[in-house]
Structure 1
């Protein structure tokens, strides 16, 4: 056997040993976070599914009741109303947040100096506490609050933003959009930075105006990022709770009583954890369907 053959075999053996060693090293570093993820993500999901087939309540006996909770859910008018309220809220919140995030991302992309300062200022509401933001905006929305004071200076009567059923969801959506648009703005800003400037320069030379460049170049190239932003904001809309809990408590007359708030009431007000787990499973399935839609659209974009 020649020295060259021996050398090649040693290299092959070392290569396979390295390939086996690298995944183990990576797994060791990932193990603490993977353990936390399994304990606080996967196990609660499976536990909730199992709990949804029981009538478990605190301090009492419980039995396995099969699919009774699911039958109750589909005939429960409170659940149906809260689902409809959540859908209405999402229909207001998602377009508003995406449009604001896209507009601010494009403005930020056009800034030539102080971009980091503006980016930090626009992202600041996202890292603000939901409770703090809700308390501030509730004061602003009050009859004698800042917004109604400004409307009074303009000669318009006070508006009950959180007291009128027709205004409460748009008012809450404004708060959540102000609080959460910064994250989507950064994602869209990164997408805008990935668009080659040569495309825009060529379109400008051909005589395309700003709207034509946006519609024919920016939007098509930004579409995969836009789909991702729409999906994550839709998920955020279905999970809204903090803002409603602080500002309205589900009122007035349950006009802001969303699905997560119904889950909270069933679990921590009525202590009906079996039925609350059923609502949680329904919410999980809704979010799962949205995630599958996201994957379908992204796969379609990658194949195009």
Structure 2
């Protein structure tokens, strides 16, 4: 009887092992498919762009000679590239703080709403899921010379403005549109962070006599630090990659005053067919995003003791 009893146990043990192995094969197989996709779609093109950036890669020529850093030297001697680089810095320095301030302000207001909170969230989030091209063309129509805003200004007795036709005004209007469209995303991120802050901290501070501003500065902001780090990095990458709004609202004009680095890369590659210069500019953009993200994580990511 003892022998007969041990046989089914070993049989069960071997079958359980095979089921375990099948489970691990299934798990690793599911992980392998997106990994292959990521390597094929993301990693390999990035590595290939490094190869293109050190060659004179003209689509109209069969020969692709190695030129080393020649494409990078050409870029930094190109005034249009330098202008696009300065514009991109402006997009980041103006757009990211504006996005954070507006998103946090709206999140704080919605947090204090007692009725129809879901409706307000939906209304503020709708622009984020709306087509970027459609939004850009609507605002382009609004800020035309004979558009809605100039019509209102004339009715009020003010002088009409150039807006998107002005080298000094256009870039800030594009930034404003980008902030408005990303407001819903920033609002949801900050709302999630605000709702994770224990209410007892603010209640204790209020009992000690701290006013709203003191509670916001010394409690809310420090505890929102991880959310702020995430939001700054995502916003910086988004503004560094400014393309669709610029292309549809101004085409990079007037006088290249709104030309972003990504739009300049697009022009180099698909209008002038200078793939080597375009790949070199892409490598520069990659380096800027990498360094900026690392610096922001180092400076902003502070440990908070509750």
TM-score, normalising length: structure 2: 0.89
Does residue 84 (structure 1) correspond to residue 89 (structure 2)? The answer is no
Tell me the equivalent position of 1:67.
69
CA contact (8 A) 2:222 2:304 kept: no
Structure 1 residues 36 and 303: alpha-carbon distance in aligned structure 2, compared to 1, 3 A threshold: farther
Q: Provide the residue aligned with 1:203 in structure 2.
A: 205
The C-alpha deviation readout for 1:192-249, integer Å capped at 9, x for no partner, is: 0110001111112222221111111101111221122111111111100101100101
Q: Greater CA deviation, 264-273 or 150-159?
A: 150-159
From the superposition, tell whether residues 113 and 24 of structure 1 become closer, same or farther in structure 2 (CA, over 3 Å).
farther
Counterpart contact for 2:80–2:256, Cα < 8 Å: no
Cα separation, 1, equivalents of 2:116 and 2:223: 26
Structure 2: gaps spanning 5 or more residues:
1-12
CA gap of 1:63–1:140, structure 2 versus 1, over 3 A, is same
Distance in 2 separating the partners of 1:266 and 1:177: 27
Aligned-residue offset at 1:299: 5.2
What per-residue deviation string (whole Å, max 9, x for no partner) do you get for residues 156-200 of structure 1? Answer: 111111011110111000111111122122111111011000111
1:1-304 paired onto structure 2 within 5 Å: 24-61=25-62, 62-297=64-299, 300-301=302-303
Contact 1:141 1:162 in 2 (8 A): yes
SS for the counterpart of 2:224 is helix
Taking a change above 3 Å as real, the CA distance of residues 117 and 30 of structure 1, as seen in their structure-2 partners, is: farther
**Any conservation in 2 of the 1:148–1:159 contact (CA below 8 Å)?**
yes
Change (3 A) 1:27 1:176: same
Q: Distance in 2 between matches of 1:76 and 1:263?
A: 13
Structure 1 SS opposite 2:115:
coil
Q: Aligned partners of 2:21 and 2:205: how far apart in 1? A: 51
Higher deviation after alignment, 95-104 or 15-24: 15-24
Q: 1:180 to 1:40 in 2, by over 3 A?
A: same
Between the aligned partners of 1:77 and 1:252, the Cα distance in structure 2 is 15
| SS in structure 1 of the partner of residue 164 of structure 2 | coil
Q: CA deviation at 1:18?
A: 8.6
Aligned length: 296
Residues 235-244 or 105-114, more deviating: 105-114
176-185 or 291-300, which deviates more: 291-300
Q: Who wins on radius of gyration, i.e. which is larger?
A: 2
Q: What is the CA distance between 1:292 and its match in structure 2?
A: 1.4
Is the deviation greater in 213-222 or in 20-29?
20-29
Q: Please give the root-mean-square deviation of Cα atoms over the aligned residues, in Å.
A: 2.5
Tell me by how many angstroms 1:21 deviates.
Answer: 6.3
Is contact 2:71–2:277 with CA below 8 Å preserved after alignment? Answer: yes
Distance 1:143 1:124 in 2: 28
The one-character-per-residue Cα deviations of 1:21-68 (angstroms, maximum 9, x if unpaired) are 665433222333222222211111111111101111113122121221
Structure 1 distance, partners of 2:20, 2:292, is 37
Q: Return the offset for 1:92.
A: 1.5
Matched position secondary structure for 1:157: coil
Unaligned runs of 5+ in 1: 1-11
